[in-house]
Amino acid sequence: MEIDELDRQVTHALRINGRAAYREIGAVLGVSDQTVARRYRRLRAEAGLRVVSVPNPIRLGYETWLIRLRTAPQSAPRIAGALARRPDTGWVSITSGGTEVACMARVPASADRQTLLLDKLPRTPQVTSVSAHCVIHQFVGGAVGPDLHDDALSAEQITALTPARPPQGSDRPAARLTPADTPLLEALARDGRLSYAELAAAAGWPESTTRRRMQDLFESGSLYTDVEVDVELYGFRAPVLLWLTVAPARLAAVGAALRAHREVVFAAATTGPTNVQALVVCRDMPQLYRYLSGKLGPLDGVERIESEPLLHHVKQLGTVH
């Protein structure tokens, strides 16, 4: 499949506002809503594009944990599959020669960490080691906002599509999630662009109730949308996880620098022997070399860099297909 400029614009528009109507996107891009709908359906079918709506851990006060599991040879796919089926994991990937699994888990701050992070992890001799790093500050990506990879839209177009949301640190309280929201959240994790009628059927609510609840969750920042894609089709063949050791006094400065790097799609300060985790997406390994040697390595405070190519995404943002 060839990705052209309009495909990139539609993808960028959906990253800005995943629930924007085709008519709204078309008005900003200068094309018809039918054209946007056709492009979206094609991207969904052939490029792995999927809009998902997920809880915002920052606004809801959840803890985010980055977990690394080293496995015996040939065991990583089975272990990654088990992790991907858990509702509390956000992404699960196989890295490092196929013998390591990296995943992200979100848990309510009041939860029993030991039970969630240790007792429920795969208990098998095929897991040879486990390390868990708690995110203490997120610099870029996900709930913090879009990264700089998408550049198909102008600043004016981005402003026109950006939905009204409370800024991070806003005094407006987040709309708390309840067990009654579970069917709605499960539907949004499968497809964040489901209509209100489809969401109402999934939740078992009247459509008017569903619409009000969705408005409350999004406007308070409790939910946000993101987009999954097959990055190779967009020309990026080198997604790599980085585990950095940064001098504590330089954490904020290094985080600010990472936020300005186009290669970085996620970065956060964490607990653990490495204290910054980042996901970078490069067009190829030579570009990764130039990034590490020319931009990341020279940053004041970066003492050590460990890199792991992502071999396979088992789960990205929502539910497993």
Encode pLDDT of 1-32 as tens digits.
899 999 999 999 999 999 999 999 999 999 99
pLDDT score for 241 = 96
pTM for this prediction: 0.88
Instruction: Break the chain into its structural domains and give their ranges.
Output: 233-309
The model's pLDDT over 194-223, given as tens digits with 9 standing for 90+, comes to 999 999 999 999 999 999 999 999 999 999
Architecture of domain 233-309: 2-Layer Sandwich (3.30)
Structure tokens at 23: 């008519």
Which band of pLDDT confidence, cut at 50, 70 and 90, is reported for residue 116?
A: low
Rounded distance, CA 279 to CA 300, Å?
A: 20
> Could you tell me which residues come within 8 angstroms of residue 293 by beta carbon, excluding any fewer than 6 positions away?
none
Output 196 or 233, whichever has higher pLDDT: 196
Rounded distance, CA 252 to CA 130, Å?
A: 27
Contact yes or no for 79/86 (Cβ under 8 A):
no
Nearest CA to 190 out of 289, 64, 316 is that of 316
pLDDT at 113 over 60: yes
